[in-house]
Structure 1
Amino acid sequence: MNGSARTGTHAPSGWTPWGLQGGSSGSQDLPTLSVGGPSESRPLEKGLFAERYVLRRVIGSGGMGTVYQAWDELCGQSVALKVLEATGPRNPGAQERFRREAKLARRISHPNVARVFELGSAQGRSFLTMEYVEGEDLRTLLAREGSLSAVRAARLAVEVCAGLEAAHHASVAHRDLKPANVLVERGGRVVLTDFGIARALEDSPEEGLTRIHGLVGTPQYMAPEQLTEGKVDGRTDLYAVGLLLYEMLVGQPAFAQSTSLKAAFERMGAPPPDPRDRREVPAELAQVVRGCLAVSPAERPANARAVTRTLEAWLTGERV
């Protein structure tokens, strides 16, 4: 997660730090797989936290904790403050995952990735602060507008890929890219968040969170190799890019019925869905979707930059 650098106009249905999905007000997000049950969440009272942050409002909550909009009195700016709630024997790895989130997220410095500022503890709770983004997540945008124009969808996908390129360059795979984790700022900037189940690409499978904490991710947006082998690299995130682009072009998820793990496994044997089967879509963009959704990672684009080049060539009218 690059935390929940959440939005100014939308309160998300749940906080999805390292594969946990909690419920709160607002539209419900898809479930995220996790190991271990949630613990009781004790929201902080309004006031000064950690002798620095003035709490404004809750902007997300879940089984592992709560995200607040807060005012940083030291720096004089709004931040998203994530407070870890779930600790103890029911969630023995909570502190480890919380620190890992901050460590991996801080590797990435790019306008299309929410920045993490501080990791600390106060009042017996661990917390981190990150960039506060004024806008809404892509899930909310699509729920309101339905399908987007081909040009707008391509431009948003270019910025998603730019953020992923920076993450992959820093040797970090997101592993849970979905509309709820893509923020669209009021000015149009796209910001990737929630690197909470991200894994350092140099980790061996035995060292990564996949083996230690079980299968994590959102079934509807998981790549085949995540489901079958737990293997993750940059091309795993490109699979999710294909799903995002499909959803933006069509207005509906590519695998609308694959919200359960069983359904996700069942659709693995099917050919990559073509958005043109459901809506008139430029052939070049449909080809990008199908390429990203190849079952074998070897058949997908080599990296996020390759997807960006194809999309930019189409946007500028160059030959792809």
Structure 2
Amino acid sequence: MEALIGSAHSLPTLPVGCGSESREVEQGLFAGRYLLRRVLGRGGMGTVYLAQDEVQGERVALKVLDASFARNPVALERFSREARLAQRISHRHVARVFELGSSEGRAFLTLEYVDGEDLRARLQREGSLKAMVAARVALAVCAGLGAAHEASVVHRDLKPANVMLERGGRVVLTDFGIARAMEDEGPGGLTLQDGVVGTPQYMAPEQLTESPVDARTDVYAVGLLLFEMLTGEPAFQATTLKGAYERLRRPPPDPRECTKVPAALAALVLRCLARAPEERPAGAAEVSRSLEAWLAQ
């Protein structure tokens, strides 16, 4: 098998299509302190490794920006922004960021390692989740989002792949790579405008129209998560930006059209998926109250 670590300081360029989640890496220190164990995943800008921090003596997730982005100032700013914004948030349902640095010309950051699987993997394996389980996961997601919003951070890319399910039961939000600090624009609240950005299948209407986004943009994504957990299917099948624009012309789907869903949860999903932000719950705390009320029945 081709070695994934070329030297004590270099990192690999993974071949396209390799089974990165299960491949082991040869022992070697990165940045003088991180002993790489295996590849956890690969995204559009970099690779995430399970590593042992030899200084602190604990396991971390080491996210390394691809060499192809090393001289790209926009990519470097986005990468460092993820760390800066995530460091604002301190909550048990948000992955902690420890260090942002550079070694051998490669930008990296270290995050809390969550021993478990992401929600996408669980849904692929099990299909839909029981209503009570889905509600509890959504409640934990809202708790993490609430902490982010209190720190003036909107996630903007909430999706099953960015929700980790720890083996001990904790739900953890990850990947604030396209999150942005919300700017106070007066009586209208915390908003920002930064162009069309996000994962098309999980984008809110205001992201598609380059309109200001705020906490209600993440509330929309909670509705999408809850829909998918309850039905086993994404609310919107289109994975391209062009296909995503269809949701601007059509009403959101009712989860009860796919399977039997408790009426209160279906109503909450539809409120979260309202096209106009002002018709959605005002924030994660309001969604949490609805979920807690249903769970208490």
Alignment of 1:25 with 2:19, yes or no, is yes
Give the 4+ runs in structure 1 shifted more than 4 A: none
Trace 1:205-244 onto structure 2 (pairs within 5 A): 211=194, 214-244=195-225
Within 5 Å, which residues of 2 pair with 1:103-122? 103-122=84-103
State yes or no: 1:95 paired with 2:76: yes
For the pair 1:264 / 2:244, whether they are aligned, the reply is: yes
Aligned to 1:285: 265
Q: What residue in structure 1 maps to residue 256 of structure 2?
A: 276
Instruction: State the Cα distance separating 1:215 from its structure 2 match.
Output: 2.1
Counterpart in the other structure of 1:64: 45
201 and 284 in structure 1: CA distance in 2 versus 1, 3 angstrom threshold:
same
AA paired with 1:255?
F
How far apart, in 2, do the equivalents of 1:187 and 1:75 lie? 23
Instruction: Name which of 250, 268, 277 aligns with 1:297.
Output: 277
Q: If the length of structure 1 is used for normalisation, what is the TM-score? A: 0.81
CA contact (8 A) 2:20 2:42 kept: no
CA–CA distance in structure 2, aligned partners of residues 197 and 177 of structure 1: 10
Residue of structure 1 in register with 2:294 after alignment: 314
Deviations 1:212-263, CA, capped at 9 Å, x for gaps: xx5211111000000012421100000010000000000111112x211111
Hey, what does 2:11 align to over in structure 1? none
How far apart, in 1, do the equivalents of 2:17 and 2:184 lie? 32
SS at match of 2:183: coil
Paired residue total: 274
Q: Does the CA-based 8 Å contact 1:197-1:209 persist in structure 2?
A: no
Matched, 1:160 2:141: yes
Task: Classify the secondary structure of the residue corresponding to 2:73.
Answer: coil
Q: Which has the higher contact order (CA 8 A, sep 6+)?
A: 1
Q: Is this contact kept in 1: 2:139–2:291, CA < 8 A? A: yes
Which residue matches 1:184?
Answer: 165
Task: State the Cα RMSD in Å.
Answer: 2.1
Aligned to 2:188: none
- Report deviation, 1:23: 6.1
Please give the alpha-carbon distance, in whole angstroms, between the structure 2 residues aligned to 1:266 and 1:118: 41
Query: Which SS does the other structure have where 1:168 is aligned?
Result: helix
Q: CA offset at residue 187 of structure 1?
A: 1.2
SS in 2 for 1:154: helix
Computing the radius of gyration from Cα coordinates, the structure with the larger value is: 2
* Contact 2:128 2:231 survives alignment (8 Å): yes
Of 156-165 and 46-55, more deviation after overlay is shown by: 46-55
CA distance in 2, matches of 1:103, 1:255: 32
Does the CA contact (< 8 Å) of 1:24 and 1:61 recur in 2? no
Describe the shift of the 1:316–1:193 C-alpha distance in structure 2 as closer, same or farther (beyond 3 A): same
Distance 2:175 2:87 in 1: 12
What letter corresponds to residue 225 of structure 1 in structure 2? Answer: E
- For structure 2, the 5+ residue unaligned runs are 1-15, 186-190
Q: State the Cα distance separating 1:24 from its structure 2 match.
A: 5.1
Pairwise CA distance, 1:45: 6.2
Judging changes above 3 Å, is the alpha-carbon distance between structure 1 residues 169 and 121 closer, same or farther for their aligned structure 2 residues? same
- Per the normalisation by structure 2, the TM-score is 0.87
Partner of 1:77: 58
